[in-house]
Amino acid sequence: MNKEYDVLVAGGGNAALCAGLTALDAGARVLIVEYAPRDFRGGNSRHTRNLRAMHDKPTATLVGAYSEEEYWSDLLGVTGGNTDEHLARLMIRATAELLPWMESRGARFQLSLSGTLGLSRTNAFFLGGGKALLNAYYTTAERMGMDVVYDSEVKSLCLANGAVREAEVFSMGETRNIRAKAVVACSGGFQADVEWLREYWGDAAENFIIRGTPYAKGVLLRNLLDQGVASAGDATQCHCVAVDARAPKFDGGIVTRLDCIPFSIVVDRHGNRFYDEGQEFWPKRYAIWGRLVAQQPGQIAYSIMDSKAEKLFIPSVFPAVRSETIGELAANLGLDPSALENSVRNYNRALRPGIFNPDVLDDCSTEGIDPPKTHWARTIDTPPFIGYPLRPGITFTYLGLKVDENAAVLMQNGQPVANLFAAGEIMAGNILGKGYLAGIGMAIGSVFGRIAGREAAKVAQH
Amino acid sequence: MRSTEAVDEARRVFVICNACRYCEGYCAVFPAMEKRRAFTAGDIGYLANLCHDCRGCYYACQYAPPHEFALNLPKTLSRVRAQTYTEYAWPKPLAGLFQRNGMIVTLAASASLALVLLLATDLQSSQILYGTHGVPGSFYAVIPEALMVGIGLATFSFAVLALAMGWRNFRRDTSGGSVSEWRSLFRAACDALTLRNLGGSAHGCNNLDQSFSQSRRYAHQALFYGFFLCLASTTAAAFYEHILGIIPPFPFFSLPVVLGAVGGVGMLIGAAGLAWIKIQSDPAPAAKACLGADYALLGLLFLAAATGLLLLALRETRAMGILLSFHLGVVLSFFLVIPYSKFVHGIYRFAALLRNATERKTS
């Protein structure tokens, strides 16, 4: 850490490693400053599994083709136009060359087998998941001479005259100033700082589950915003899914998610339904349910089904709550039995006959109740009855730093900082105004990580 | 299969793995696990033996210690495997030999080696024992043929019987289906012969740490094929003697000697390689209690190969008599401990591969 570095990378996840590896290629001396201890290195990338990549013909691990236009229209669909088309298209096009580069740096892919929400055409899956990918990147980078310090946090960057002069790093109980010719900020969102979340969500924030790393506290993000760096993205927007309410507060990852919602009814803590559970295929609605649950009283909801639905989804890590009657199930979940019985009765009465098929948007729906359930609606009548408690689970927040096409961080006046770049969650809000597409976080992190690493090395060597 | 603390821990881990499934590209264990929502003790015994201990899942695991879920699948399954060796051992009263197995194998080997050497030096005249030979029949001059073949056949046959009973116990307990499905048998044999499950999608396994390599797979294959070449050498020797009427020692370029020499070198390389990898490797995903049994068997196989090769090299010198006694002592101890040593892993792993091939076919 006492050496003079060309490029200092704040953060140790996918974007950070892509930046570091690219800067190393250009001959730069690189230091990675990772807040987490070694065992938990890698930010939220540890919990990821795949990356969305455009391709015009089948590859070793991707079937069919996925064009720039289709990718763009998928992104447009989830963000409702709340995106930067120039940056988004640049990112999409760059994913076409990403996989071979990743493989050359040690990444390994697998064919998607099961439980992957049917993404084998659009998303490339990392063999063993994100932690295995990160292990490979770290191994390659260390072999190429990159230095890494763990348990070390970049607290602030000193901006003066349009450039970063110094980084203030807290490490091993003391604060040191490290000089580097260029800095890449890859330190993630602020989702693990509950106090910051409270600024927008109030007391509801206390009931959020943080699915990923507890080290994404947004310290550097706030430090830069306070120094007049332009922001991108809405502070209340985030990737937020419904998770099992029994999940640990932090770092529960993938195993806490519940895919049962389309085959169930979901009620709030008063036992009332509040949204169409069968609106669309689950992969397309997966990322809206966190917000929906966050908007309910007490930020809790309950997915209720009968034994017919049990085999239709991947089991959660927590055992389902089961009972022989709806009333008993309600009592076991802490709900008012008569209220839940009432909701189930009303729902059962509103069902229209149809042919159930989980693989298509079938014709099993309700009539005359509000909200309706428009697909996969079947009677809840076959014991044992099953329930899961749900909470909002935040993956990452979208408020970030505004960047240009070189991943250079922009000041509020629109001028880029000469030697400061950003990649990953800390700038994903430029592209993700709202909503989410599976695997796009890793795509943004990888593409902008590489751009940031390239540009940082260029600046450092001038 | 009894429900023990190790089995309960494996069940806890599988419930978490089954909700994650990130590791499904590594080996056969994960797709087999995904077919189930509940895990009987028999299922866990089966999955534990299907695991080849490549450790890919440990390094990839986002829930590995110090995470609060503290998943360590390779270590957990190693402990269950050790339990299956005890549970399926035959005859039952000898199952206790799997406790402190490293020590027991070492003691048994030392005892039978000492016995053979004592008997040879005590019963045989020193003129014959320390004389120079090199003529047909010289081995049998040191140790009479009837004794050598009789004891060898008796101990080896018992080992085969005990292994077969263990195989039967395992298949009963884990509801293995019928062996008469030739295609499944063929697939299982291919999996075993290529060690497909140590291949990790062509990248090898995590022998030492998070990096990948094929060295453990190749070392195991050297030992495995070396061992079978030595068995083939013995069979060829019997054929030479009883059908062709040629009395050992056989010429250098005869089939039994060539097979035995190549096999012996393979065993030396394989056993030494596997032990070296074990010494170097990260202890975190290993079950410490199993290591003794691993080293004991590797040591015994190494010794068997080394003494055999030494005997070949020095069979025309005065050292032949004592080397022959030494080699046969080691081989005898190996035959004795076969059903009560790490050797049994091959039987149960093949049974698990067979069941897996049957399952894959029917799904």
CATH of the domain at A345: 3.90.700.10
Whether A110 contacts chain B with CB within 8 A: yes
Closest C-alpha among A333, A339, A350, A336 to residue A385: A333
A338/A5 Cα distance (integer angstroms): 67
Please count the CA atoms within 13 angstroms of the CA of A246 that sit on its side-chain side. 13
Q: What is the DSSP secondary-structure string of B268-301?
A: HHHHHHHHHHHHHS-STTS-HHHHHHHHHHHHHH
Cβ atoms within 10 A of the Cβ of B42, count?
A: 17
In tens digits, chain B (363 residues) has pLDDT values of 889 999 999 999 999 999 999 999 899 999 999 998 889 999 999 999 999 999 999 999 999 999 999 999 999 999 999 999 999 999 999 999 999 999 999 999 999 999 998 888 888 887 777 777 667 788 888 888 899 999 999 999 999 999 999 999 999 888 766 666 788 899 999 999 999 888 765 678 888 888 889 999 999 999 999 999 999 999 999 999 999 989 888 999 999 999 999 999 999 999 999 999 999 999 999 999 999 999 999 999 999 999 999 999 998 888 899 999 999 999 999 999 999 999 999 999 999 999 999 888 776
Instruction: Identify the band that residue A115 occupies on the pLDDT scale cut at 50, 70 and 90.
Output: very low
Closest C-alpha among A287, A313, A289 to residue A302: A289
Closest C-alpha among B73, B70, B69, B35 to residue B52: B73
**Residue pLDDT, tens place only, A400-452:** 999 999 999 999 999 999 999 999 999 999 999 988 998 999 999 999 999 99
Is there a contact between A26 and A145 (Cβ–Cβ < 8 Å)? no
What pLDDT is attached to residue A116? 46
DSSP A314: P
- Who among A39, A131, A139 is closest to B211 (CB)? A139
Min distance B91 CA to chain A CA atoms (Å)? 40
Whether B363 contacts chain A with CB within 8 A: no
Is there a contact between B306 and B314 (Cβ–Cβ < 8 Å)? no
Please count the CA atoms within 13 angstroms of the CA of B162 that sit on its side-chain side. 24
B5/A142 Cα distance (integer angstroms): 40
Cβ–Cβ below 8 Å for B19 and A315: yes
Cβ–Cβ below 8 Å for B21 and A314: yes
Is there a contact between B118 and B76 (Cβ–Cβ < 8 Å)? no
Domain boundary among A369, A393, A417: A393
A357/A376 Cα distance (integer angstroms): 7
For β-strands A301-305 and A30-33, DSSP reports them as unpaired
Cβ–Cβ below 8 Å for A131 and B59: yes
Q: Are residues A133 and A155 in the same domain?
A: yes
Whether A132 contacts chain B with CB within 8 A: yes
Q: Are residues A348 and A407 in the same domain?
A: no
What pLDDT is attached to residue A64? 87
Whether B156 contacts chain A with CB within 8 A: no
Q: Residue B290: which residues within 8 A CB-CB, separation 6 or more?
A: B78, B79, B81, B82
Q: Are residues A185 and A299 in the same domain?
A: no
Q: Residue A345: which residues within 8 A CB-CB, separation 6 or more?
A: none
What pLDDT is attached to residue B66? 96
Is there a contact between A416 and A427 (Cβ–Cβ < 8 Å)? no
Is there a contact between A78 and A71 (Cβ–Cβ < 8 Å)? no
**Residue pLDDT, tens place only, A36-50:** 999 999 999 999 999
Q: Are residues A76 and A224 in the same domain?
A: yes
B198/B57 Cα distance (integer angstroms): 12
Residue A201 one-letter amino acid: W
Number of CB pairs < 8 Å for A and B?
A: 88
Is there a contact between A322 and A386 (Cβ–Cβ < 8 Å)? yes
Domain boundary among A351, A377, A393: A393
A212 sits in which H/E element: none
Strands (DSSP E) contained in chain B are none
Q: Are residues A208 and A334 in the same domain?
A: no
Q: Are residues A62 and A158 in the same domain?
A: yes
For residue A46, give the CATH number of its domain: 3.50.50.60
Q: Are residues A289 and A335 in the same domain?
A: yes
Query: For residue A316, which residues of chain B lie inside 8 Å, CB to CB?
Result: 19
Instruction: Using alpha carbons only, give the angle A406, A408, A414 rounded to the nearest 5 degrees.
Output: 110
Min distance B55 CA to chain A CA atoms (Å)? 11
Domain total of chain A = 2
- Which 3 state secondary structure label does DSSP give B67? coil
Is there a contact between A293 and A300 (Cβ–Cβ < 8 Å)? yes
Residue B345 one-letter amino acid: H
Whether B35 contacts chain A with CB within 8 A: no
What pLDDT is attached to residue A118? 66
**Domain interval for residue A380:** 240-393
Q: Are residues A98 and A115 in the same domain?
A: yes
Closest C-alpha among A166, A277, A157 to residue A226: A157
Please count the CA atoms within 13 angstroms of the CA of B149 that sit on its side-chain side. 12
For β-strands A180-185 and A5-10, DSSP reports them as parallel
Q: Are residues A180 and A262 in the same domain?
A: no
Could you tell me if residue A305 is left (phi over 0), alpha (psi between -120 and 50 degrees) or otherwise beta? Answer: beta
The two structure tokens encoding residue A108:
């390994």
Q: Is the pLDDT of residue A113 over 60?
A: no
- Who among A110, A128, A315 is closest to B18 (CB)? A315
Domain boundary among A341, A364, A393: A393
Closest C-alpha among B301, B281, B344 to residue B74: B281
Q: Residue A16: which residues within 8 A CB-CB, separation 6 or more?
A: A9, A10, A32, A34, A43, A184, A186, A423, A424, A449
Most B-contacting residue of A255, A256, A260 (CB-CB within 10 A), to test interface: A255
Q: Are residues A38 and A15 in the same domain?
A: yes
Query: For residue A39, which residues of chain B lie inside 8 Å, CB to CB?
Result: 64-67
For β-strands A400-401 and A5-10, DSSP reports them as unpaired
- Who among B22, B31, B65 is closest to A128 (CB)? B22
Cβ–Cβ below 8 Å for A114 and B34: yes
A167/A146 Cα distance (integer angstroms): 18
Whether A127 contacts chain B with CB within 8 A: yes
The two structure tokens encoding residue B64:
């590995």
C-beta pairs of A173-179 under 8 Å, 24+ apart in sequence: A176/A1, A178/A1, A178/A5, A178/A8, A178/A31, A178/A33, A179/A4, A179/A5
A154/A185 Cα distance (integer angstroms): 9
